[in-house]
Amino acid sequence: MDILKEILFVTIPAFLVMLTAYLLIRKTIENDRERRRHEIVLQNSGTITPIRLQAYERLTLFLERISMESLIMRTNKQGMDSKKLHTAMLSTIRSEYEHNLAQQIYVSPQVWEVIKSARSNTIKLINTIAEKIPPTASGSDLSKNLLETVMEMDHEPAKVALDFLKKEISRML
């Protein structure tokens, strides 16, 4: 019986010391993992943030390029008829959009939906006005009608998207 008591007097404190050491080591390892994970997140954000900002810059440029005034200035050539201008404008929008497709990886899904919506609404606007004017009309007539329509609108599609983009960037920073 004395031997059993002595064994218990030795084993119980040893077990408690071992349990305490185990819990302390486990907590230390967890803290170290968390610290490393936090360092990796900080390091990645230092790498990702400039890339994301660059994507927002490119999408801003896209929206500026598909704004009606800019689009007309870049595509309307002297002597173009309305049909050719209509085709050139739609082709420019598609080309610009395809050039910026990869940017969706770096922006939120909401931003990308707004970008797609701006593109679609701009195309709809161009198609609607092009259908209203006679096929023999000049490119200047189409341009004039498009600009007048945009002036009457509360918000041009590209402008709405650009405002949303600015709000998203301000939240990000």
Determine the Cα–Cα distance for residues 169 and 164; give it in Å rounded to an integer.
9
pLDDT digits (tens, 9 = 90+) for 29-78: 999 999 999 888 777 667 778 888 999 999 999 999 999 999 999 999 98
User: Structure pTM?
Assistant: 0.75
Say what the pLDDT of residue 135 is: 78
Half-sphere exposure of 103 (CA within 13 A, CB side): 26
Say what the pLDDT of residue 157 is: 93
Say what the pLDDT of residue 1 is: 72
Say what the pLDDT of residue 136 is: 86
Below-50 pLDDT ranges, the chain? none
Q: 3-state DSSP call for residue 80?
A: coil
Determine the Cα–Cα distance for residues 161 and 116; give it in Å rounded to an integer.
9
Six-digit token pair at 62? 């896209």
Distances (CA, A) of 113 to 23, 58, 81, 153, 166: 49, 16, 33, 21, 15
CA nearest neighbour of 53 among 164, 169, 161, 160: 169
User: What are the structural domain ranges in the chain?
Assistant: 49-172
